[in-house]
Structure formats: structure tokens, C-alpha cells
Amino acid sequence: MAHLIVIAYDDEARARDALATAFELRREGVIELESASVVRRRADGAVQIDETGDVSTRLATVGGAFGGLLVGVAVAAPVVGTALGAAVGIAAARRNDLGIDDGFQREMGRKLAPGRAAVVLLAAAKDAEAARREAGRLGGELLATDLAPDAEEQLREILRTPQR
């Protein structure tokens, strides 16, 4: 099951480094990322959300393209069917906003001091022990999570002692 984790950093550069680390952990098979973004509070107080692209949107695009290909083959226009199917998949995923709620991300951004940033992850541990061991690579301050209280405190402690 995926959990929502928000980790705050002193600046956007550090938050982007942490996001890159989260993607490394995904490539290493430690975690599964459903969605990820960087939320920052600009000097003027405005909140900016930079979504990396929901994994669910990519899956919908591929699924739509495959479905379109099948229909296209049936009517002898596979390229057109694939393109139309992909477009339908993208539109459906975006309409349903399958990633992290934008309102929640804006709320997290308003909690940040101007100039600070946060990484918002919707992730699941594929290997719980490795995830605990590697979470210190993210560093930062835990801002919010839907983890159980004991797991939340454990993550908070791990983040306090960052590793590289």
C-alpha cells in the first residue's frame, strides 16, 4: 500500500536532490513511486507545484495506446488508433487526477517559510528493511505523512540523521 510522505528542505535545490534520490531508490527496487512532486514557497509567498508526472498518467497513456492499437488493427489504421488511444488515456488520467491532490500540495506549500521547498511522495516500500535503511539518503524534516504513529516517528528519526 502506498503512503503519502511530505519532507521539507531549506531550499528548492535540496528538495530536487531528494526527489532524484527517491527516483534512484525506485530504480534500485527499494520503493515504488505512484506520484512525486516538489512544492516550493516562493519569496513572494506564492506556492508553486512541480509535478514529475504521475506514474498513473503514464500507465493510462500506455493502456490507452495499446487499446487504440488493437482497435486500429481491427479497422486497418493501427497508427491512428494508437495515437487516439494514447490521447484518450492521457485525458482520462488527467480528468481523474490520479496522483496527489493539488489542494493538499498547496496546503503543504503554505506551511513552508518563503524560500523553502518540500518533496511530496506517494510511495510504497517494495523492500521494507531496505526502505528503512535507505530513507536516510533523503534527509530533510518530515512535514506530514499518513504512516502509523510508530512508523512516522521511526521515519522522523531516520531523516534526522541523513546518510549519503
pLDDT (0 to 100) of residue 94: 47
pLDDT (0 to 100) of residue 89: 58
Rounded Cα gap, residues 54 and 10, in angstroms:
25
Between these two residues, 96 and 48, which has the higher pLDDT value? 48
Element housing 3 (H / E): strand 3-9
Rounded Cα gap, residues 164 and 160, in angstroms:
13
User: What rounded mean pLDDT belongs to the chain?
Assistant: 83
Rounded Cα gap, residues 9 and 82, in angstroms:
42
pTM for the model: 0.73
Rounded Cα gap, residues 64 and 57, in angstroms:
10
pLDDT tens digits, residue range 87-96? 665 555 444 4
pLDDT tens digits, residue range 17-44? 999 999 999 999 999 999 999 999 999 9
pLDDT tens digits, residue range 95-124? 444 589 999 999 999 999 999 999 999 999
Q: Cβ–Cβ contacts within 10 Å for residue 58, how many?
A: 13
